[in-house]
């Protein structure tokens, strides 16, 4: 029986999706580290890191490489997913860690390659000299060739399930599980709850636009604040003209709907357009005709 420690540890192939997830986690971590680093210089003059940005990034990725691939034979994303690198050049099927030369070449091809690409881009963009045109064209051709090889390697990876990146294929390093994977048990109760909740959420998203919340709000307010009787005298009617029955403010362009209550033109027009069955929130009268108020109320009457 194979042991789980040292060189006697058996090799467990890694699923394609797990290898791709590890790559995405690595990119997310690098972006997070760079964001946190630039935040430290937020109070400085803008563009203070622009001239040395490729070198600073290379130094940060060097630190990450030192404490991940060099010391643990795995990137951060791989360590999270219980994955590590194996030296595929070894003849034995048992696990064998990466050699020092493989780790150093991994640093050169990943960190050094990105630094060279960024630094050459800044160099050629800031100094458009005729003597550098041939070098720039060679660099562009080399970059395109590397990307084409990366595409071919990715197609082979989808077919074979090994060497997710071109660097892994060149160096002969393969991703394997660090510990034997246990059987994943997922209860049907949890799945049923998730399906039920997602179905209920989609039903609410479909149903809510058909519910007239404004009408329900006005109906509840008319129930909570009933009006016992309506005044009939001119003075009482004039007193009710001092505030809008919807917004409670001094009515702008006061209008009536056929009852003794007054509304702002914008308030009643917008509510009536939104709901053709609109009723007065105070007396429950339906809209008979939208007409301007006949009473001439002056602002002095508020005092």
What is the average pLDDT across 6-10? 46
Opening angle at CA 293, ends 287 and 296, nearest 5 = 165
Query: Do the beta carbons of residue 283 and residue 275 sit within 8 Å?
Result: no
Residue 4 located in a structural domain: no
Q: Is the model's pLDDT at 260 over the cut of 80?
A: no
Least confident of 149-153, 228-232, 277-281, 289-293: 228-232
Joined together, the tokens standing for residue 139 give 């660099």
pLDDT reported for residue 23: 92
Q: Are 264 and 173 within one domain?
A: no
Both 167 and 269 in one domain: the answer is no
145 and 268 together in one domain = no
DSSP 26-85: HHHHHHHHHHHHHHTTTTS-TTTTSTTHHHHHHHHHHHHHHHTHHHHSS-HHHHHTTEEE
- Residue 218 domain-assigned (yes or no): no
Is 25 in the same domain as 147?
Answer: yes
* Count of domains observed in the chain: 2
pLDDT band at 148 (very low <50, low <70, confident <90, very high): very high
Q: Cα–Cα distance between 78 and 95 in angstroms, integer? A: 16
Instruction: Say if 193 falls within a structural domain.
Output: no
CATH number for the domain spanning 280: value is 3.30.40.10
**Which residue shows structure tokens 């995405």?**
24
Per-residue pLDDT tens digits for 17-64: 889 999 999 999 999 999 998 888 888 887 778 788 888 999 999 999
**Which of these ranges, 23-27, 97-101, 200-204, 248-252, has the smallest mean pLDDT?**
248-252
Condensed to tens digits (0 to 9), the pLDDT of residues 152-202 reads 999 999 998 889 999 999 998 988 887 766 555 656 777 788 888 888 888
Report if residue 142 sits inside a domain.
yes
pTM over 0.75: no
Domain assignment of residue 140, given as a range: 16-180
Q: Say which residue, 186 or 235, is predicted with more confidence.
A: 186
Half-sphere exposure of 80 (CA within 13 A, CB side): 13
């Amino acid at each position: 029986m194979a042991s789980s420690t040292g060189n006697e540890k058996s090799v467990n192939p890694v699923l394609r999706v797990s290898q791709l997830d590890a790559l995405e986690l690595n990119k997310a971590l690098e972006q997070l580290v760079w964001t946190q680093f630039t935040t430290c210089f937020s109070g400085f003059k803008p563009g203070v890191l622009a001239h040395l940005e490729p070198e600073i990034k290379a130094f940060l990725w060097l630190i990450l490489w030192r404490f991940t691939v060099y010391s643990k034979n795995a990137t951060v994303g791989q360590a999270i997913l219980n994955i590590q690198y194996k030296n595929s050049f070894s003849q034995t099927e048992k696990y064998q860690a990466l050699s020092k030369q493989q780790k150093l070449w991994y640093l050169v091809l990943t960190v050094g390659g990105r630094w060279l690409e960024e630094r050459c881009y800044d160099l050629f963009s800031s100094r458009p000299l005729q003597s550098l045109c041939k070098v720039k064209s060679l660099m562009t051709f080399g970059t395109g060739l590397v990307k084409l090889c990366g595409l071919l390697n990715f197609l082979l990876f989808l077919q074979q399930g090994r060497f997710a990146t071109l660097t892994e294929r060149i160096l002969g390093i393969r991703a394997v599980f660090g510990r034997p994977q246990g059987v994943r048990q997922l209860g049907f109760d949890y799945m049923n709850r998730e399906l039920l909740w997602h179905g209920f959420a989609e039903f609410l998203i479909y149903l809510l636009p058909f519910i007239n919340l404004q009408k329900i709000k006005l109906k509840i307010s008319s129930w909570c604040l009933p009006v016992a009787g309506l005044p009939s005298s001119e003075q009482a009617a004039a007193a009710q003209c001092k505030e809008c029955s919807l917004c409670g403010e001094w009515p702008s362009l006061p209008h009536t709907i056929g009852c003794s209550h007054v509304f702002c033109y914008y308030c009643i027009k917008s509510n009536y357009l939104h709901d053709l069955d609109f009723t007065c929130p105070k007396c429950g009268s339906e809209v008979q005709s939208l007409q301007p108020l006949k009473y001439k109320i002056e602002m002095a009457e508020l005092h």
